[in-house]
Chains A and B, each alone.
Chain A
C-alpha cells in the first residue's frame, strides 16, 4: 500500500505546493547536459528497455528508408529501378545550380514563417479566450477542434468551392466587392491563399495543445495574481505565457516541421505550385519530382538537402530558443 501513501503525499504536495506555483524558479540544467534534469533515477537496463519499442520501429521504418534515400540521392535511376548508375553528387549539383531552386527556397521561407506565426498566434489567442471563465466555453472548444477531423481530401476540394474566383463563395464575394481576386494568375494572392489554407488545419492542432497546456496551470496561481491586482493582459504575459512556454516550444518545432514537410497536399490541391512557380515550396518540389516526375535521384537529393536544413533549424531552436523556456 505504499502507492497509496505516495499518492497521498503527492496530493498534499499539490494542494500546498502546486508544481507551477513559482514561475520564477527555472530548471537548473547541468553544464554538460542542458536538457537533463537534476534528479534522476539510477538504473542501467531500464531506460534502454523503455526506449526499445520506439527505437525498433524508428530503425525499421524511418532510419532504413532514410538510408535508402541517401543511397538514391547519389544514383541515377529509371522509374522501376532496373538501371542504376552511381553519379556522385551530380543530383545535388543539378538541384543547387537550378536558378529556380533559390526562388523555391525563398517561397518556402516566407510560407513556413507565415504559417507558423499565423497558426500559433491565432491558436494561442483563441485558446486563452476559450479557457477563460466565459459562457459557452465548451461549445467554442468543440467547434474549434472539430475542423481538425475533416478528411484532408475533402478539405482540399472545399478550398476550391470557397476560394475559386468563379465558383467559390469567398472568391465570388471578393469579386462582388470589386476586388480583383484571381489566384490563378496572381502569384501574391496565390501565396496568401495557400498560407491561409495551410494554417487553417494547424490552428485546430495548436489549439488543442495550448488548451491542454493552459489546463495544467493551476487556478490558484491565476487567482493569486488576480488578487494582486494584475490586469488580464499583464497576467497573461507575466504568468500564463512563461508557464506555457514548454508547450509553445513544442508547437514551434512541430509547426515548423509541418510547414516544411506536410503541406504539399494543400498546395497540390489549390495551386499545384503556380502560377509560374509562385507557390512552389521545397516539399512540393520533392513530391512533384518523386511522385509525378519519377525522378527518384533528384527527389532524394532534395529531401536530403531539406532534412539538413530542418535539422539545422531545429538544432538552433533547441540550442537557443529552448533557453528561454521555463521548465519546472
Chain B
C-alpha cells in the first residue's frame, strides 16, 4: 500500500503546486498612487544606491510610486525592454547604456523623447544644466535632449604609486603623453614589473576616447550624428600609429592584453599591473581592494596629433529613456516627468556622484561636490569631470551615434586580439575592423530607414 500512498503524495504535490501557482499573484500594487515601472541594469551595491534615490523620491511625495527593478546586465535589460515593448507591456522608464543610444533614437514611436515629455507635462527642464559632453551624447541632431542622463563615467588612468617609487619614477607626476607612458613602462619593467600597463574596454578607451581627445573622427557623418549612412574612419594615421604602438609595447613586455570589456579591471587592484586605463568607476573597486598607494590621471595623448591641446573625453555609463505603450495615460507621463524633475536636481546628482564615483552630469553638481570639499578629501576624484569639461565639445568629441555599436566594439576587439597574437599588424587589424564594422552599419541603416 506504500506505493499507493506515494502515488497519492506525488499527485497531491502536483495538485498543490498547481494550486499554489494559481493562487499566488504578485504583490498587490498601491491603488491610489500612479505607479511607474522603472527597469535598470545596475548590480549591487550601485543598484541599491539607485533604489535608495527612488525610495527618497517615493517617500517625499504622495502621488507617485516608482517601482525600480533590476533586469540583468545592460544588454539583458535592453532585451527585456524590447520583449516587453513587443508584448505591449513596456516599462515607463528603462536604463540604457550609452552604446545603445543609436538604437533607442532609431526606435521612433517606441520612445518618448525627454524634451517632449517635459514640454507636454509643463515641467521646467534645462538641457544646458548638463555638462556639454553629457548633453551632446544624448541629444538629437538638432540639439534636443532625447534621454535623461544619469550615471555617466569616462575613461581615465590609474597608476600604482608604490610601483612608480620602486622604478625611480615620480609618483606625483604620472605620464601625460604616450611617449612618456612608454618610458615609464620601460622603467617599471626594469624594476621587475610583469605588467607595466594594461587597458580595460579596449575599443572604448584605446579607439573611441583616443579619437575624441585628438579631435579625430571615429566615423564619417560627424561620428554618425549626421545620418545612418556613417562609415568607420579608424584607418586614420592617429589610430594606426596608436594601435601599432600598443602592439610594439606588447612585444616588449610593456603592455599586457588583459581581455575584453572590463575583464582587465581586476589586474590593477591586485597589484599585477602598474598602470591601467579604464572606466572612472573602477575607483570604488580600487579603494576597496588595493593595498598600495595609487593615483588617478587623465588619459595620455600623442603630442604630434593633439597639438598639445587634448580635447574632452567622451562618456560611458547609461541614461534613462521613456518608453511608450498602448496603455499609457497622460497621468503616467506626468508622474514620470515628476520623477525626472527630482533626478535632475543638482543635489541629487552631486550625492550620486559622491556616493558612487560616477561623474556628475550637471555643472552645478560639480560645484556642490567642490563646495562640500569632496575633492580635497578624495584626491584624484575630480580627474574624470575635469577631463570631460576641459574644452568645449567638438564634432569629434561629442560622442558616437553608431547603430549596433556593441557589435562594432566586439569586432574591433576580435581584430585587435588577432593583432596581439601576431597574426596581423595595426593597419590590417583596423582595415578588417572597418570592413566588418561597415557591414554592421549598413544592416542597421537598412533595418531602421524610413
Interface of A toward B, CB cutoff 8 Å? 3-4, 7, 76-83, 85, 160, 164, 166-167, 184-187, 272-277, 288, 290-295
Contact = CB atoms under 8 A, between A and B. Distances in A.
B266 A185 contact: no
B260 interface: yes
B84 to A, nearest CB: 10
B19 interface: no
Highest count of chain B CB atoms <10 Å: which of A3, A272, A292: A292
Contact of B447 (A3, A83, A272, A290): A83
Given A167-B267, A167-B272, A275 B103 contact: no
Contact of A277 (B261, B266, B414): B414
A7 B3 contact: yes
Contact of A81 (B86, B259, B272, B443): B86
B48 interface: no
Interface of chain A, helix or strand or loop or mixed? Answer: loop
B108 interface: yes
Given A83-B450, A291-B76, A185 B414 contact: no
B370 interface: no
Interface in B254-270: 257-261, 263, 266-267, 270
Nearest to A187: B421
Nearest to B436: A100
15 contacts: A7-B3, A78-B107, A80-B82, A80-B85, A81-B85, A83-B449, A184-B258, A184-B263, A185-B257, A185-B417, A272-B261, A274-B417, A276-B421, A292-B75, A292-B410
Given A82-B107, A185-B417, A166 B75 contact: no
B270 A167 contact: yes
Given A78-B106, A82-B107, A288-B410, 14 more contacts: A76-B446, A76-B447, A78-B448, A79-B107, A80-B110, A83-B450, A166-B267, A167-B267, A184-B259, A273-B410, A274-B260, A290-B79, A292-B75, A294-B78
Chain B, interface size category, equals 35 or more
A272 B106 contact: no
A273 B409 CA distance: 14
A292 B109 contact: no
B320 interface: no
A167 B266 contact: yes
A294 B447 CA distance: 11
B414 A164 contact: no
B259 A166 contact: no
Contacts of A85: 447
B121 interface: no
B410 A272 contact: yes
Contacts of B108: 82
Given A3-B4, A185-B257, A276-B418, A291 B75 contact: yes
B404 interface: yes
Interface string B400-427: 0000101100100110011011010000
Nearest to A75: B447
Contacts of A274: 259-260, 413-414, 417
A293 B282 CA distance: 26
Nearest to B418: A276
A77 B406 CA distance: 18
Contacts of B296: none
Contacts of A275: 414, 417-418, 420-421
Contacts of B417: 184-185, 274-276
Closest 7 A/B residue pairs (Cβ): A275-B417, A293-B407, A80-B110, A166-B272, A78-B447, A276-B418, A184-B259
B91 to A, nearest CB: 14
A136 to B, nearest CB: 30
> Which of A79, A160, A275, A291 has its CB near the most chain B CB atoms (within 10 A)?
A79
B195 interface: yes
Contacts of A288: 407, 410
Nearest to A184: B259
Interface string B426-450: 0000000000000010010011111
Contacts of B266: 160, 164, 166-167
B308 to A, nearest CB: 35
Nearest to A76: B447
Contacts of B259: 184, 274
Interface in B232-254: none
Contacts of A79: 78, 82, 103, 107
B79 A293 contact: no
A293 B406 contact: yes
Contacts of B76: 291
A78 B102 CA distance: 12
Interface string B98-115: 000001001111100000
Nearest to B269: A167
A294 B107 contact: no
Nearest to A278: B417
